[in-house]
Homo-oligomer: A and B are copies of this chain.
Amino acid sequence: MTKTLEFWFDFSSPYAYLAAQKIDDLAARAGRETLWRPFLLGVVFGVTGNGPLTRQPIKGDYTRHDLERMARYMDVDWHMPDKFPIPTQHAARAFYWIDKDDPDTAKKFARVAFNAYFARNIDISPAQTVLNIAAGCNVDPDVLGPALQTPEAKQALRDRTDEAMKKGVCGSPFFIVDGEGFWGSDRMWMVKKWMQQGGW
Contacts and interface: CB of A to CB of B under 8 A. Distances in A.
Contacts of A140: none
A59 to B, nearest CB: 4
Q: How large is the interface on A (under 10, 10 to 19, 20 to 34, 35 or more residues)?
A: 20 to 34
A43 to B, nearest CB: 11
Contact of A165 (B48, B58, B171, B189): B58
A141 interface: no
Contact of A171 (B59, B65, B72): B59
Given A187-B186, A189-B189, A58 B62 contact: no
A168 B58 contact: yes
A183 B73 CA distance: 16
Given A48-B59, A59-B171, 4 more contacts: A44-B58, A48-B56, A62-B183, A186-B190
